[in-house]
Amino acid sequence: MIWSGLLIYWANDVYKVGWGDTTLFHFFPDSFYGALHFNGRLSEGMAWHFLFMWLFAINGVSYVLYTIFSGEWRYLVPDRNTLREAIQVVLHDLHLSNTPLPRQKFNGAQKIAYSSIIVMGLGSLLTGIAIWKSVQFGWLTAMLGGYAAARVEHFLLTLGYVGFFVIHIAQVIRAGWNNFRAMVTGFEVVDDCDFS
């Protein structure tokens, strides 16, 4: 989805971080497109994007429905203790605190992160629809601040995923191989001697 989105974004790569005439960072440097062979592939990017969007939507809706009906949402949706727990987790992970963390399936930071991702996914879907069908869903496009604003929001959400991905991967590496295997398979292999 992000790959095909970048093929599209290349055709009008106007976003940058900066102010006035000062640019801190331009999305993206020419070398970035060159290295990834992203130049001149707008129509191909759109074609992939318009195929993937259905998978993205169906996958997202299925996941949310499963989470609701299986009761798994209870482990994911933040409650009134979540923020306090999340701060503990962050302090712990940054080695600023030695307080042991409460044992639970997902800690406060995870609850906030994983729930945010679902909301962001919904945001990508809605901003995407607002861009794709800006007349038939004109009310949605207007609600999001207009066509150009919806494009910016769609882009910012994507930056959010990249940020999530980087932190997530760093955390998984930190947690070790056994944890990663458990994430994928759903069970954990524990050596006998660990019980002693």
Q: Where does this chain bind another protein (CB under 8 A)?
A: 8-9, 11-12, 14, 42-44, 46-48, 50-51, 132-136, 138, 141-142, 146-148, 151, 184-185
For helices 108-132 and 147-175, the axis angle rounded to 10 degrees is 150
Please state the length of the chain.
196
Instruction: Give CA–CA dist 179/188, Å, rounded.
Output: 7
Q: Which is nearer to another protein, 89 or 126 (CB)?
A: 126
Alpha-carbon span 146 to 9, nearest angstrom? 18
Nearer to another protein (CB atom), residue 16 or residue 133: 133
Min separation Cβ 172 and another protein, Å: 14
Nearer to another protein, 68 or 148 (CB): 148
Residue 118 CB, shortest distance to another protein, in Å, is 21
CA dihedral 5, 6, 10, 12 (to 10 degrees): 40
> Measured from the CB of residue 177, what is the shortest distance to another protein in angstroms?
14
